[in-house]
Amino acid sequence: MFYLKGKIDTNKLIYFMFSLPALLLYSFFYIYSVICGIYYSMTDWNGIDISYNIIGLDNFRRLLTDERFWNSLSITVYYAAALVVIVISAALAMALILDSLVRFKTFFKSIFFFPAMLSSVTVALIWDQLFFRAIPVIGKGLGIGLLSQSPLASTKTALNAVILVNSWQAIALPIVIFVAGLQTIPKEIYEASSIDGANSFQRFRYITLPYLIPTLTVNFVLTLKSGLTVFDYVYAMTNGGPAKATEIISVLIYKHGFQEMRFALANAEAVILFIIIATLSYIQIKISGKGGVISE
């Protein structure tokens, strides 16, 4: 593929050489890892022994009747759904506000993007201390019983507290993407709609939203994937507790693989999670591809 009329196509060769390191890294750390994960999910390997047996789909059959797995999967689905609703709606609202600003637009963009510059573990540990030290003091001072103890200590509030922390940081990137999408919408369309008597809601419904479908799809898929595969926030703040109330699927995979030495079962759970993410992402992309406006 590097030859053109008997001579070496230097440009194509250079492009290929520049892309080769990324291709090798992607192939080894992703494609090869996925193939190995699928293979080991059909074994009884514990992650340590040299020898193991091929058992086919027994791990997957076992998961179908595993109450702990289904409970973990339901928690993960709730977590991902809540994260998508909170992040997408809040990010879109903030992007509309930022886009309408005349002054200090860059300053406020920087403020809202600041959480994305922090590591997720750092954010989780900071909020963990706030929940355990600041919130109970405030709750007792104001006489609010619900806030008299850390939200992470209750099975009823722990999961929602982690979701709020995750949303606080995850909202930054979608805001930037939405603002970029808003800037691609021709201003002449808004001017024409104003002349025709369209109100603010009608302009948002029939102009802004259709133009934002591509960016909305990107944010949806990224946020959904982030919610289904989240690990660091939960592990750093609750480690799946209290009483497994926040034991999402990624934490369960970690515990099965590295604490309970059920490595093959953990791989089976990871394969199921991969299939769920791929299916939901495909459905969302197909649905969103039927509508919207592509700017030129």
- The pLDDT confidence band at residue 290, using thresholds 50, 70 and 90, is low
- The pLDDT confidence band at residue 296, using thresholds 50, 70 and 90, is very low
Q: Counting every residue, how long is the chain?
A: 296
Mean pLDDT for all residues in the chain: 88
Could you tell me if residue 44 is inside a domain? no
Could you tell me if residue 262 is inside a domain? yes
| Cross-strand bridge partners of residue 3 | 8
Give the pLDDT confidence of 28-39 residue by residue, as tens digits: 888 999 999 999
- The tokens of 272 are what? 């199921």
Could you tell me if residue 162 is inside a domain? yes
The domain tally of the chain equals 1
Could you tell me if residue 43 is inside a domain? no
Domain that holds residue 274: 67-288
CATH number, domain containing residue 196 = 1.10.3720.10
Could you tell me if residue 26 is inside a domain? no
Stated pTM of the model: 0.87
Could you tell me if residue 18 is inside a domain? no
Could you tell me if residue 242 is inside a domain? yes
